[in-house]
Structure 1
Amino acid sequence: MKAVFKAGAALAVLAMVVPADARSGGEHHAEVADGTTASDEAAKAEALAEAMRAAELWIEGQRQFRKIPAISAAVARGDETVWAQGFGTTDRAKTKPATPDTIYSICSISKLFTAIALMQQWEQGKVALDAPISEYLPWATLADDPRESVPVTLRGALTHSAGLPREADFPYWTGPDFPFPSQDQIRAKIASQVPLYPASTTWQYSNLGLTLVGETVEAVSGQPFADYVTANILDPLGLDDTRPGIPTGLYGGQMAVGWGALEPDGSRPQVALFDPAGITPAAGFSASVADLAKFAGWTLRLARSGEAEVLRASTLREMQRVHYVSPDWETSWGLGFAVRQEGGTTIVSHGGSCPGYRSALMIAPKEEMGVAVAMNAMDDPGTVARGIAALVKARGEAKPFDPVEGVSLSDYAGVYGGQPWGADYMIIPWAGGLTWLSPDANEPAKGMWRLRPLGEDRFRVVTDKGDERHEVVFERDRAGNVQAVRQHSNASPRLRGL
């Protein structure tokens, strides 16, 4: 099943462009190879550190408010992972901490590996994208359909435009047992399935379609699908925690256990582990976010270097360009990748949603950035991915305030009381001043007002539009510790530090 998310232009600023006036005075600074200065690099590092610290605080808040047992997330920049973190716990006893190496079912992100496997066969001249799938899989012929249609092709399957049924005709999304069919069962049943639409007329997401792509890889390579993907994609890329299947021996250990949707009483039911069996090419892989970030880094490295590595760079470009646009122009798809442009930034992505797990991977090729999120509950990883990107964007765009002698911003950082009007909130250092962070907000960077230091525990509110507003004063106790913040004559207590 799928999860589509919209990062918008947030990823475009993940490159952490630092305004020129963030540099110190008129001093001369040595330039590095790309023309930036050492102070530029230091400012970028500081900005990224503040953004990721805000992301950590916000994600943990989201996890608690949404009662998500575990979330893991990672950010890639170029071919390096620049940040990765785990939140919450992964076992039934809720004692094992989540990490970037925690393994989750990544469900439909599996389709990216299957698409890459097929494109390797395409590079070798073993398949043609516009040939009928039945040319490679003689048994993959659906029931007669009186509607006129062009053939069902591999390109159609990769772009979800082949008119195929969404699923093989089995109830494998039905709990509590999730009875996934075997390869033999899928092959025996497909002849009785009727196309949903004539090919190339309607976008219809199809797990059956990508299952057939995986079957094609197996047929033309002469190897079992899992063996082929492991030997030709996962091993060469060093994705040691990614598998075409579920590692049952690691379940409850390195692999997180799954939980269901949130109940009215705030609980989540346990979800039994499933075996994706014959649907593995479409929805059966498992991985860590550390590996997903490494995968994102590989795509960025391949695009930048132009040197063949698992795929040719030109093949990856072909996969990441739009091959199908729906008639309403709302959905655009590459070969395996969802492709969309927002705010001038092209985002290639995929999401995953399987019983007990959800995940998201989004990549901005031009900006050379990627974000991976996985969780062991039926919630929205896209919200987390968008929030991470938005916080980095906001920090990258923030013009730093001039320092004020004697002001230590860390003195004011903490959790402040918001009751009864709202949830408790955080005040954090941000671009030479402070800012508010709401852990319960779905969009943590929306309307991000700031506090410019004036000295003597006084700050000036600056709106997200740059307008200066009222003064805010922090109050200290006799020991000199900040104990409250006061604005408009009303005080909010500082409950704890960060």
Structure 2
Amino acid sequence: MKKLLLATCMTALLSAPALAETPEDALQSRFRAAEALLDANLVKESVPGAAIGIVHDQELIWSHQFGVESFRTNNPVTDDTLFSICSVSKLFNGIAAMNLVEDGSLALDAPLSQYDSGLGMTDNQGSEEPVTARGILTHVAGLPREGTRDYWADNSFPDTAGLIETVSTQEQLYRPYDHWQYSNLGMAMLGDVVGKLSGTNWDDYIDQTIFTPLGMSRSVTDMPFDLVGKGFAQGYYIRSPKGDRNAVEEHSFRAFAPAAGIASSVNDMAKFASWHFRLHEKGGQEILKATTLKNMQRVHWVGADFDEPAWGLAYATRRYGKATMWGHGGYCPGARTEFVMRLPKKIGVVMMVSANDVSPGAMVKTIYALTESAIAKVYNSKAENGTEAAAVNDGAAADKAVNLSDYEGSYAVANYDWDGYVGINEDGLFFMPIFSNDPVKNIENWVHEEGDRFRRKRKDDTLAEAIEFERDATGKVTGLVQHSYRSTKR
């Protein structure tokens, strides 16, 4: 009986009509699914504004905007809207420092106090070596995470004189390389040295050395509060029990700008990602030597039991399954950011939100998983053939029995958070549960059987229950039924 059932299911699968969507069609459907997933979750979390972009090599291939720059102006978020990128600023600080290493002004392993005597910190640990730029960039210099008080509580960040004063009254926590300890204080100290050695100041050096050469014309090294709601996204704190959010008050990161002070946009961060892909592929020198950038992204520190973050020089690593991603995250007053790159595939993702209680990291990971293989298929084909991805030609294109685009869209079950998105594969449909803990892992693939009837395909390629789509009198798809549950198309 089991053999007969299996044979029947396989026969049904093999006899299903061949559907001829293109890889480009499938990719665009994945992007639309990503938009639906993001919008549903951002609405659920009452996020004021957000922006996300995906870069492939030298091109921003997809972006999506959500919400407004400010509740006061209600101007919509765009790809040029500036957001506080928080600790992603540390990447720019690291690149600036390594630029000075290349020209011989800064030595990675020299005492940092050699460049500014005010940055000497009391060491009662018996350290074998001093605090260095290398130790700071990898967060293993043994420094405290912050200064002597909580600047982040009221955004009262010190100026350079205040930074030096607080450093002089603090002690090292550990000997260098004993433990990993993320340190905003260390990045502020290194930024001070970068400014002094550059012959200008940290802000101008970042602009002249990185922003201007890369065409990052909107990016700035502190919060442009004069542009709130007019090009800069106002940050908002966590929701109160009543669901309200207070706006972040105007502030400057001052001496801590090298740790968290940059504001940037999707368009500008796309240019930043493309620079990485360009330098990795072509080699040579652009801002940095390719070998320097690759050395920065090599893992310089990981815990003895691989139980601590793996860190390069300023660059953090993430593991998306078996794939290593390079970049940095950011969390600061009223904003959070995630910037990651899959260097071998030349795919980068940046997402910025104007609330500090919603992490973009999980959403970026999901969007990458949802789109990565489809991006690779389309753009690898373009690279190999020098043309757009061609349509599948299996003889069924001219007389397809079904138009898959009829079914695409968001579906919801009344009174439940069972929202899902039906999208287009090259050979059928996929269904992604919007509010699942792992939407991509739980994607279902549906193959066409006849008319408006599809069947869920199991992982072993056998067929499971039927899905029936419903239409109104005009022929428009209005809903679907699966497991007797009715979902309405939005």
Query: For residues 313 and 328 of structure 2, what CA distance do their matches in structure 1 show?
Result: 11
Q: Are residues 465 and 295 of structure 1, via their aligned partners in 2, closer, same or farther at CA, if it must alter by over 3 Å? A: farther
What is the correspondence of 1:2-21 to structure 2 with a 5 Å cutoff? none
Q: Hey, what does 2:4 align to over in structure 1?
A: none
Match of 2:418 among 416, 420, 423: 423
Question: Is the 2:49–2:66 Cα contact (8 Å) retained in structure 1?
Answer: yes
Q: Hey, what does 1:32 align to over in structure 2?
A: none
Q: Hey, what does 2:488 align to over in structure 1?
A: 494
Single out whichever of 261-270 and 277-286 deviates more from structure 2.
261-270
Structure 1: segments with no counterpart, 5+ residues: 1-24, 26-38
Q: Are residues 83 and 317 of structure 1, via their aligned partners in 2, closer, same or farther at CA, if it must alter by over 3 Å? A: same
Query: For residues 68 and 62 of structure 1, what CA distance do their matches in structure 2 show?
Result: 9
Q: Hey, what does 2:278 align to over in structure 1?
A: 301
Query: For residues 489 and 452 of structure 2, what CA distance do their matches in structure 1 show?
Result: 18
Alpha-carbon distance, 1:351 to partner: 0.7
Query: For residues 73 and 35 of structure 2, what CA distance do their matches in structure 1 show?
Result: 20
Is 1:361 aligned to residue 336 of structure 2? no
Question: Is the 2:23–2:426 Cα contact (8 Å) retained in structure 1?
Answer: no
Is 1:262 aligned to residue 257 of structure 2? no
Q: Are residues 442 and 372 of structure 1, via their aligned partners in 2, closer, same or farther at CA, if it must alter by over 3 Å? A: farther
Q: Hey, what does 1:84 align to over in structure 2?
A: 63
Partner amino acid for 1:269?
N
Single out whichever of 56-65 and 408-417 deviates more from structure 2.
408-417
Q: Among the aligned pairs, what percent are the same residue?
A: 35
Question: Is the 1:257–1:273 Cα contact (8 Å) retained in structure 2?
Answer: no
Q: Hey, what does 1:7 align to over in structure 2?
A: none
Q: Are residues 422 and 91 of structure 1, via their aligned partners in 2, closer, same or farther at CA, if it must alter by over 3 Å? A: closer
Q: Are residues 142 and 345 of structure 1, via their aligned partners in 2, closer, same or farther at CA, if it must alter by over 3 Å? A: same
Question: Is the 1:261–1:377 Cα contact (8 Å) retained in structure 2?
Answer: yes
Q: Hey, what does 1:199 align to over in structure 2?
A: 176
Q: Kindly provide the CA deviation profile for residues 153-188 of structure 1, in whole angstroms up to 9, marking residues without a partner as x.
A: 11000000001011122321103xx11111111112
Q: Hey, what does 2:312 align to over in structure 1?
A: 334
Question: Is the 2:432–2:442 Cα contact (8 Å) retained in structure 1?
Answer: no
Q: Kindly provide the CA deviation profile for residues 43-71 of structure 1, in whole angstroms up to 9, marking residues without a partner as x.
A: 44333222211111111111111111111
Query: Residue 64 of structure 2 aligns to a residue in which SS?
Result: strand
Structure 2: segments with no counterpart, 5+ residues: 1-17, 378-391
What is the correspondence of 1:268-287 to structure 2 with a 5 Å cutoff? 268-287=245-264
Partner amino acid for 1:352?
G
Query: For residues 209 and 127 of structure 2, what CA distance do their matches in structure 1 show?
Result: 39
Query: Residue 173 of structure 1 aligns to a residue in which SS?
Result: helix
Alpha-carbon distance, 1:495 to partner: 4.0
Query: For residues 415 and 318 of structure 2, what CA distance do their matches in structure 1 show?
Result: 41
Is 1:350 aligned to residue 296 of structure 2? no
Q: Are residues 93 and 183 of structure 1, via their aligned partners in 2, closer, same or farther at CA, if it must alter by over 3 Å? A: same
Is 1:55 aligned to residue 22 of structure 2? no
Query: Residue 97 of structure 2 aligns to a residue in which SS?
Result: helix
Single out whichever of 289-298 and 333-342 deviates more from structure 2.
333-342
Query: For residues 414 and 54 of structure 1, what CA distance do their matches in structure 2 show?
Result: 8
Question: Is the 1:447–1:464 Cα contact (8 Å) retained in structure 2?
Answer: no
Question: Is the 2:436–2:442 Cα contact (8 Å) retained in structure 1?
Answer: no
Query: For residues 331 and 44 of structure 2, what CA distance do their matches in structure 1 show?
Result: 21
Query: For residues 156 and 376 of structure 1, what CA distance do their matches in structure 2 show?
Result: 32
Alpha-carbon distance, 1:396 to partner: 6.3
Partner amino acid for 2:227?
L
The total of aligned residue pairs comes to 453
Alpha-carbon distance, 1:465 to partner: 5.0
Partner amino acid for 1:207?
N
Alpha-carbon distance, 1:221 to partner: 1.7
Compute the TM-score of the two structures, normalised by the length of structure 1.
Answer: 0.86
Question: Is the 1:351–1:360 Cα contact (8 Å) retained in structure 2?
Answer: yes
Q: Are residues 394 and 310 of structure 1, via their aligned partners in 2, closer, same or farther at CA, if it must alter by over 3 Å? A: closer
Compute the TM-score of the two structures, normalised by the length of structure 2.
Answer: 0.87
CA RMSD of aligned residues (A): 2.3
